[in-house]
Amino acid sequence: MKIIHDGDTIQHYLVKYQLDNLFMQSQPNSVPLQLRIYEPNELILREGEELDGIYFQVAGKTKVSSSVETGKALLLRFCHPLSVFGDIELIQQVVIQSQVEAVEMTTFLFINKRTVETELMTSYTFLHELLKHLSYKLQTCTTASRINLLASVEERFASYLLTTRLKNEFGKEMLTPHISEIASLIGTTPRHLNRVIVKLNEMNIIRKEKKKLYVLDWERLDELSNGMLYD
């Protein structure tokens, strides 16, 4: 991790994502913002540890996972700007709930925990921003859980492909080129998903070439999804 104190770059990200108004109720320059830059595969937050502050992801891509009793990690989602980490832990006053890892070089605006608790948690504007991100996380988790519980693997995979095609925010979080990660996201095993891919390939709905998938017939894929989408 690199910590950079660059006022111009910080201001650029504040304006780009309209975050500058979050700190208007505080005294000028009283919120110590840091730029934190992480390399690919570098751990940002470790599940079970104490949170040191709140993280606004302003560049790059991260992977969020959670451990399960078997000792394996369950992939929850991929995140792109603007995403927030630490909001649940700050509000619930608990340890870090999920592991966050950089997929590519990723940049955050970071505010330490003490500043958040003493200067920002009484700000309506700041709390409204946290609420927006919390409600979005609830929406995505609820939708994914509903589909994963009620739909077959074929329906889930079709829904996944259709969602990523729509290019909405939820689709951004779901998109991944790796079969094992897709399987984890839609609640199945890589072996089962590979069987579904072979079947859809034989039906000429998709085409698999090495590590790439191509959708050949979106209409039939839509029929297969039975109208369910991760959105």
C-beta separation of 60 from 105 below 8 A:
yes
pLDDT reported for residue 28: 45
What span, in angstroms and rounded, lies between the C-alpha atoms of 75 and 70? 14
Quick one: which of 142, 140, 181, 136 has its CA closest to 163? Answer: 140
Domain presence at residue 18: yes
pTM, two decimal places: 0.81
Do 116 and 191 lie in a common domain? Answer: no
Domain count, the chain: 2
Do 85 and 58 lie in a common domain? Answer: yes
What span, in angstroms and rounded, lies between the C-alpha atoms of 151 and 156? 6
Below-50 pLDDT ranges, the chain: 28
Domain presence at residue 231: no
pLDDT reported for residue 26: 52
Q: How many CB atoms lie within 10 A of CB 216?
A: 13
- pLDDT, one tens digit per residue, over 60-101 is 999 898 876 666 677 788 888 999 999 999 999 999 999 999
Do 92 and 53 lie in a common domain? Answer: yes
Task: Report helix, strand or coil for 41.
Answer: coil
pLDDT reported for residue 11: 92
